Amino acid sequence: MMIGRYFKTNKGDYMKQFWAPWRMEYILGDKPDGCFLCDIIADDKDRDNLLLKRGVACAVVMNRYPYNGGHLMVLPFRHVAELGDLTSEEKLEVLNLIDESITVLKKVIYPAGFNVGANLGKVAGAGLEDHLHMHIVPRWDGDTNFMPVLSDTRVVPVALLDLWDLLKPVFE
């Protein structure tokens, strides 16, 4: 069974394309109007939405298309695009929730380190430019294994809802 193929990149080298057919539901599905982060905040189905914690003005959500297992996002409830648009209280809560998220991830999945930051603007990699969110990406020694090095393919070894079930009680 073929699960991928090679294609030539714009640099002239070859990269393996890994088939992920479960993403077709998202790719072909209707895109809701508005902001999916605002929709998550407004909804009460936290597990379905991968929402782990609601603070006073901000929340912690699992990234549905993670860079690594345990990739979380911290975001304000308000639909704002820039760090400067946050109130002082929101800025403090974002930092506190980042700190809490790192503590929870250390207890549950034992990463060796973290990348923390934001993609501000489309050219910086923001898939959603209009609703500010901070990324927390757990990292492990050797997590750049043979898959990304040799075949430009990342492996996320944990199911999202299984990980949500492990993380949620620790946030509470």
Distance CA 39, CA 98 (A): 21
Catalytic residue (choose from 71, 131, 133, 135): 133
Residue 23 is given by DSSP the state G
Taking alpha carbons only, the member of 135, 108, 107, 105 closest to residue 119 is 135
- 3-state SS of 93-114 is HHHHHHHHHHHHHHHHHCCCEE
Distance CA 159, CA 112 (A): 20
| Residue 28, C-beta contacts closer than 8 angstroms, at least 6 positions apart | none
Does residue 71 have an active-site annotation?
Answer: no
φ and ψ of 117, to 5 deg: 170, -175
Token digits for 98? 């980042």
| Active-site residue list | 133
